[in-house]
Amino acid sequence: MSFTILTDSSSNLPENLIDAYDLKVLPLEFMVEGQVYHSYLKGSVTDLKKFYDMMREGKVITTSLPSLEYTESVIREEFEAGNDVLYLGFDSTLSGTYDNCSLCINKVHKEEFPERQLECIDTLAAALGQGLFVLEAVKLREQGKSLTETAEWLRANVLSFAHWFTVDDLSYLQRGGRLSKGAAFAGSLLNIKPVLHVDEIGRLVPVEKVRGRKKSLQALVDSFAEGASEPKDGQLVCISHGDCPDDVEFVRSQIAERFGVSDFVINDLDPVIGAHVGPGTVALFFTTDKER
């Protein structure tokens, strides 16, 4: 392995891929009724069904960034082992994770291990959109690309990863300040389901409002039809969700049947992102030749 790939738990990657590619993951934290939890700990499985049920019951979930003490320990361990590091962090427009962690990592690098090579990249991505970006880095590393070559390609292509979301309950977007209380109330009465995407500077932006869950899921499939790069059947498609496997299966089967896609990564949204978008969220990620 020519260099270590470090990311954070918002990348939403399943444990088998983390293990297979020896990825290092910084865990964000979430709090429920004063109890602090890590959104990812190696070898420890979070009961996400229970987590989303707590949200449905109205329990208040708060979130925080990765521990800087833990971040220091991870990067120091890698440098001490003689490894160069590529850090791929959670969208800085949506979270302070990248800014805080990259500052911490750069400080350790500069003061203690200047001989090691380090690259830090803001993925402008979240959930398995960030995970897809990480997997692209893995692919480049396996092709024998150097750390510098990999970082250069990723920076040049950071906007080639499309992110599309729909949510089932508008109240979570309202709590997070992305929707007014009045709009959330009116939208709920009218069964409005927003379709959103992550734009070129990493903002979560409403694109369309449709009436009914089925139409919002179909809109995700349509976004793939219109925006996915060719060949569509050669795509790795990623789907994150907030405890709604039947809806995910609808989206997956539509994309598989219509476009011949067979390579999917599907995972529950990690609790930190899930806390802000709620149960019933479905997010679709793929590569695109179009502008975000």
* Angle (CA) 173 178 39, round 5°: 55
**How high is the pLDDT of residue 221?**
97
Give the pLDDT score at 99.
97
DSSP 205-255: EEEEEEESHHHHHHHHHHHHHHHBPSPGGG-EEEEEESS-HHHHHHHHHHH
Q: What's residue 179's pLDDT? A: 46
Per the CB < 8 A criterion, the answer to whether 168 and 278 are in contact is yes
Q: Which CATH class is domain 161-287?
A: alpha beta
Cα–Cα distance, 17 to 251 (Å, whole number): 22
Q: What is the pLDDT along the chain (292 residues), one digit of tens a residue?
A: 589 999 999 999 999 999 999 999 999 999 998 889 888 877 676 778 889 999 999 888 899 999 999 999 999 999 999 999 999 999 999 999 999 999 999 999 999 999 999 999 999 999 999 999 999 999 999 999 999 999 999 999 999 999 999 988 767 665 655 444 433 333 343 356 788 888 888 887 778 888 888 999 999 999 999 999 999 999 999 999 999 999 999 999 999 999 999 999 999 999 999 998 899 999 999 999 987 7
Residue 191 has a pLDDT of: 54
Give the domain ranges of the chain.
Answer: 4-28+65-156, 161-287
CATH of domain 4-28+65-156: 3.40.50.10440
Which DSSP string corresponds to 88-137?
A: EE--TTT-SHHHHHHHHHHHHHHHH-TTS-EEEEE----HHHHHHHHHHH
- The per-residue pLDDT for 212 is 86
Numbers of helices and strands, H then E, in the chain: 11, 13
Distance CA 259, CA 236 (A): 12
Q: What are phi and psi of 29, to 5 degrees?
A: -120, 155
The pLDDT assigned to 34 comes to: 84
> What is the rounded distance in angstroms from the CA atom of residue 85 to the CA atom of residue 233?
32
**Burial label, 27 (beta-carbon count in 10 A; 0-12, 13-18, 19+):** buried
